[in-house]
Amino acid sequence: MVDVPAGRTAVELEFTSKAAVRLKSIGQRYSRSVHYSFVDFVLLERPEDAALRRRLEAMIGDEHALESAARLPGLRTEPPRLAIVP
């Protein structure tokens, strides 16, 4: 966790491949958290990490779509921004 003026950032280090179900669970936990403004998934840029990157990208896209669809007036206005960083 890193606190910066723009908000609190969770840093998730991804060194091993994870199943899509596990990544979805991680993404849901962060997307529904009120403790973070940003979530950065740190991923190495090795050829063997390409499949994990695709699964992370899909999970992040799914979480953004679900959060947008579920947002109701009067509730939290912005979920944490999920991103992949090198």
| pLDDT 10s digits, 1-15 | 889 898 999 999 998
Instruction: Name, in order, each residue with C-beta under 8 angstroms of 55's C-beta and a sequence gap of 6 or more.
Output: 18, 20, 23
- Count of domains in the chain? 1
User: For the segment 49-76, what is each residue's pLDDT rounded down to a tens digit?
Assistant: 999 999 999 998 888 777 766 665 655 5
The boundaries of the domain holding residue 48 are 2-85
Q: What is the pLDDT of residue 75?
A: 56
Whole-structure pTM value: 0.75
Percent of the chain with pLDDT over 90: 34
